[in-house]
Structure 1
Amino acid sequence: MAELIYQTDCYIKDFEAKVTRVEGNKVFLDRTAFHPISGGVANDTGFIESSSGRWSVINVVEEGGDVAHLLDSNPDLKVGDAVRGHLDWDRRYRLMRLHTADHILAAILYKEKGALVTGGHIDPEHAKSDFSLERGEREIFEEAIKKVNEIASTGIEVKIYFLPRDEAMKIPGIVKLAAKMPPDVEKLRIVEIPGVDIQADGGPHVRNTKEIGEVKLLKVENKGKGKKRIYFTIS
């Protein structure tokens, strides 16, 4: 299993690693800053280079407990080769900003409406989130987005740390997903926005809520009984 660099430092854009496995156009490394698609957050892209060439990373996925980097062609690489990875930082940074905004939104709707997250996805262009709400008038989400912006503008430092799983699971509201529990691992990665939200989460986030910018509501959809979907973006 690769060391997941982004779980301790989301701002590392370039890194050095060694190849542990090559399967066609899939490359596995001993450490990586590339975030695979997981937890509803889109994967990173960028490129990997070595003394023998350079290849674009077009997708990153979890596979067999490891991280597979899918390249644009079969690379001239073998086990043990040294490589350097480079993230598409503009893409990653937008994902980080949207992801942290999504946590604030989920916290607001959980505290005020008792809503759990029932699904969602974050792309660089926008985020969509489904909530367990019986009523889903646009005004509810307009007010929630207004509060997201008010909280974000105060400049709260986002904390990321690890806790033993048993200890973490005792924290009220640590899980806001309606149908998914954190992985059954010894320690859980915790993302905390002090005074606002605390969640078990494995994805990249900004260091300070001011980095989010302005959150803008795009649209609201009724996806069935007890399921309302919101689309939002950032500027």
Structure 2
Amino acid sequence: MEARLVGLSGASGLVFDRTNFYAASGGQPGDSGFVERGDGTKTRIVDTVFSPGKQQVVMIAEPDAELPSPCETLTLHVDWQRRYRLMRMHTACHLLSVVCPFPITGAAVGEAESRIDFDWPEAEADKAAISAQLMDLVTANHPVFVRDITEAELDANPGLVKSANVKPPRGVGTVRLVCIGEASSVDAQPCGGTHVSETGEVGEIHIGKIEKKGKANRRLRIRFGALPR
């Protein structure tokens, strides 16, 4: 994607008039990659974040990089391999919230491992059983898609919100739902992250660890690959 640099933010932040880089939000890390000037010079981007108030997306250049000048037009290159792993992992987190339908108290998406904390006081969780249920959803290859609903529709369906602590942003009139399955038959929940287009793209996953983090908190860690024997 080509974009015009409209300003700098702090010591190494770049702000463009548009961007294909995802800014860290909702437990998903921001994109990395590089930007390329007209002469072929490349500047590595190590993170992408929102400015205070989420008014701008700020792409953070590596330390001591020679920054381009405002008004320059550059080509933005996302590290697609890393983004795609995060998309697969984020989708896997949605599937885990289906298998374990308990209020979510925390979450973090990673390239090799993700975690979800559940308010699950009497958990007798079995890694093998949960992993098998996750893989059933993966191999069924359900479609994953996005649709918008109004804030009034969300108010009428509070069960769509799975997080116990964080509510979807409001004020624009609509809320973005990530849906899984034909006609949202598997899941639908507000989310602003990135996801694959069908569950089969997630690939083989398993629950690597289940931790007790308090009287009513269980942390489940999702990892790529088969469950070790």
**TM-score, normalisation: structure 2:** 0.89
2:58 corresponds in structure 1 to 68
Residue type matched to 2:70 in 1?
A: V
Unaligned runs of 5+ in 1: 1-14
User: Pick from 140, 143, 151: which aligns with 1:154?
Assistant: 140
The reply to whether residue 106 of structure 1 matches residue 93 of structure 2 is no
- Decide whether the 8 Å contact of 1:22 with 1:77 is kept in 2: no
Deviations 1:134-179 (CA, angstroms, capped at 9, x unpaired)? 123341x432321111011111111112222222332352110011
User: Pick from 104, 127, 139: which aligns with 1:117?
Assistant: 104
**Structure 1 residues 78-117: aligned runs within 5 Å:** 78-110=69-101, 115-117=102-104
1:212 corresponds in structure 2 to 202
**Structure 1 residues 129-208: aligned runs within 5 Å:** 129-139=116-126, 141-186=127-172, 187-193=174-180, 194-208=184-198
Relative to structure 1, the CA distance from residue 174 to residue 38 in structure 2 (aligned partners, 3 Å threshold; closer, same or farther) is same
In terms of mean alpha carbon deviation, does 208-217 or 51-60 score higher?
Answer: 51-60
The count of aligned residue pairs is 216
Counterpart Cα distance in 2 of 1:89 and 1:121: 20
Unaligned runs of 5+ in 2: none
- Decide whether the 8 Å contact of 1:105 with 1:145 is kept in 2: no
| Displacement of 1:183 | 0.5
| Displacement of 1:78 | 2.6
**TM-score, normalisation: structure 1:** 0.86
The reply to whether residue 21 of structure 1 matches residue 12 of structure 2 is no
The reply to whether residue 34 of structure 1 matches residue 21 of structure 2 is yes
Counterpart Cα distance in 1 of 2:209 and 2:67: 46
- Decide whether the 8 Å contact of 1:136 with 1:222 is kept in 2: no
When the two chains are superposed, the root-mean-square deviation of aligned CA atoms in Å is 1.5
Relative to structure 1, the CA distance from residue 82 to residue 182 in structure 2 (aligned partners, 3 Å threshold; closer, same or farther) is same
- Decide whether the 8 Å contact of 1:173 with 1:198 is kept in 2: no
In terms of mean alpha carbon deviation, does 119-128 or 166-175 score higher?
Answer: 166-175
In terms of mean alpha carbon deviation, does 225-234 or 75-84 score higher?
Answer: 75-84
Look up the SS of the partner of 2:96 in the other structure. helix
Query: Where do 4+ consecutive residues of structure 1 move more than 3 Å?
Result: 73-76
Look up the SS of the partner of 1:44 in the other structure. coil
| Displacement of 1:30 | 1.6
